[in-house]
């Protein structure tokens, strides 16, 4: 049986319903997160990945939208653990917390409304092809500007931009889009951050390039520093640099670490995952399933042992 956390309690998923009059449904003012939990058959354990970091981001984003949620980070982590246990999850899942204004009123504003948070789980395997890699297209759509709808916030309405870019890419026969920002520099994918390798240097668009401050991005920068003993250049990246890259990969909770093997019909490297990308994937996929002790701090075990 599937359950959700809805209006303060865990209920069967069928009972977790909102009205069509719900304010955030109309104005895209919901704040959401995507969290993964990885099942390890050998350990008989489900590992929740970066739970605190996701709820910290959610509460910070909510605060920016004057959405005063009555839960702390720890309470939200605990509710998620309880939900996963109630659903008796023993496979890889995606967890979707979503905070919204529940009022049945029609003014697009952020104050004098009542915030609510719902959490549910979603069966989820690979989002993109992490083994063969993906073909991407530089989108004709520009990334939301920080002074219009900040990409830094995981706010529902901002994802119109992602949906337009992703749809355009799929309809043109690609797997994913890369969006340039208003200044014409590379920002990110529709739901992923992006990294390039050029002449042994790892480069990623800096935080001021109208990107989401990805939790996986941060973890991967840490892996690059600590495991590969390489620095990461965080700076503005020109579109033309993509075509000259030796390796490109995308990061995200859903995308994990996905090699990009083609950009706008130009092959990247030899058309398969490069060395740095493969090394990072190897460490990341072991770490998220609880196989690397020094990265156990990334994980919250769901079941007591
Ligand atoms: C637009 C966008 N960029 C980047 C990411 C990657 O962020 P994270 O690593 O925190 O999942 C996501 C996914 O949440 C996203 O939607």
The C-alpha R_g of the chain, in whole angstroms, comes to: 19
Active-site choice (102, 137, 154, 166): 154
| Active site annotation includes 154 | yes
Are 185 and 144 contained in the same domain? yes
Q: In this structure, are 144 and 117 located in the same domain?
A: no
Q: Are residues 276 and 192 in the same domain?
A: yes
- Domain CATH for 48: 3.30.470.10
- Residue 300 falls within a domain, yes or no? no
Q: Which residues pair with 198 in a beta bridge?
A: 201
188 and 102 belong to one structural domain: no
Kindly state the average pLDDT of the residues 182-202: 97
Choosing from 216, 221, 255, 284 the residue with most ligand 1 atoms within 8 A of its CB, the one to mutate for a pocket test is: 216
Instruction: Give dist(CA 257, CA 148) in Å, integer.
Output: 29
CA 6 to chain centre: 22
Residue 76 counted as domain residue: yes
- One domain for residues 181 and 82: no
Q: What is the distance in A from the centroid of ligand 1 to the CA of 253?
A: 7
Same domain, 117 and 250: no
The Å distance, Cα 259 to ligand 1 centre, comes to: 16
Domain edge (last residue) among 76, 97, 123: 123
Contact (CB, 8 A) for 250 and 260: yes
List the end-to-end C-alpha distance of the chain, in Å, as a whole number: 23
pLDDT of the residue at 112? 97
pLDDT digit string, tens, across residues 204-239: 999 999 999 999 999 999 999 999 999 999 999 999
- Please write the tens of the pLDDT for every residue from 151-166: 999 999 999 999 999 9
Identify whether residues 177 and 113 lie together within a single domain: no
Share of the chain above pLDDT 70, in %: 100
Task: Tell me if the pTM is above 0.85.
Answer: yes
Per-residue pLDDT, 194: 98
How far does residue 155's CA lie from ligand 1's centre (Å)?
Answer: 11
Q: Is the residue at 237 inside a domain?
A: yes
Integer Cα distance of 155 and 253 in angstroms: 16
- Domain hosting 259: range is 134-288
Number of domains the chain contains: 2
Confidence band, pLDDT 50/70/90 cuts, at residue 41: very high
Same structural domain for residues 184 and 271? yes
> DSSP of 244-300, one letter per residue?
H-SEEEEEETTTEEEEEEEETTEEPTTSS--HHHHHHHHHHHHHHTT--GGGGGGEE
pLDDT in tens, 247-259: 999 999 999 999 9
Identify the residue whose C-alpha is closest to ligand 1 atom 12. Answer: 191
């Amino acid at each position: 049986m599937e359950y959700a956390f809805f209006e303060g309690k865990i209920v069967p998923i069928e009972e977790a319903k909102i009205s069509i009059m719900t304010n955030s449904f109309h104005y895209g003012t919901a704040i959401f997160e995507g969290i993964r939990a990885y099942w390890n058959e050998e350990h008989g354990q489900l590992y929740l990945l970066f739970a605190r970091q996701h709820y910290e981001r959610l509460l910070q984003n909510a605060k920016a939208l004057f959405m005063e949620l009555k839960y702390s980070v720890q309470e939200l982590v605990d509710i998620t653990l309880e939900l996963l246990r109630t659903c008796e999850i023993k496979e890889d899942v995606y967890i979707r917390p979503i905070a919204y204004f529940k009022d049945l009123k029609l003014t697009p504003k952020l104050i004098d409304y009542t915030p609510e948070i719902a959490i549910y789980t979603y069966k989820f395997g690979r989002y993109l092809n992490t083994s063969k890699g993906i073909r991407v297209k530089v989108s004709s759509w520009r990334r939301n500007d920080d002074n219009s709808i900040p990409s830094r916030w995981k706010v529902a309405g901002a994802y119109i931009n992602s949906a337009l870019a992703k749809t355009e890419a799929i309809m043109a026969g690609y797997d994913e889009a890369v969006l340039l920002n208003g200044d014409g520099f590379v920002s990110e994918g529709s739901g992923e951050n992006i990294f390039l390798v050029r002449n042994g240097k790892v480069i990623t668009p800096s935080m001021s390039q109208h990107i989401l401050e990805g939790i996986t991005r941060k973890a991967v920068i840490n892996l690059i520093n600590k495991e590969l003993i390489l620095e990461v250049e965080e700076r503005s990246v020109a579109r033309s640099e993509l075509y000259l890259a030796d390796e490109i990969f995308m990061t995200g909770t859903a995308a994990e670490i996905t090699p990009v093997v083609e950009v706008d019909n130009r092959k990247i490297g030899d058309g398969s995952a490069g060395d740095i990308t493969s090394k990072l994937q190897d460490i990341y996929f072991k770490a998220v399933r609880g196989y690397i002790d020094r990265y156990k701090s990334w994980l919250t075990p769901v079941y007591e042992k």
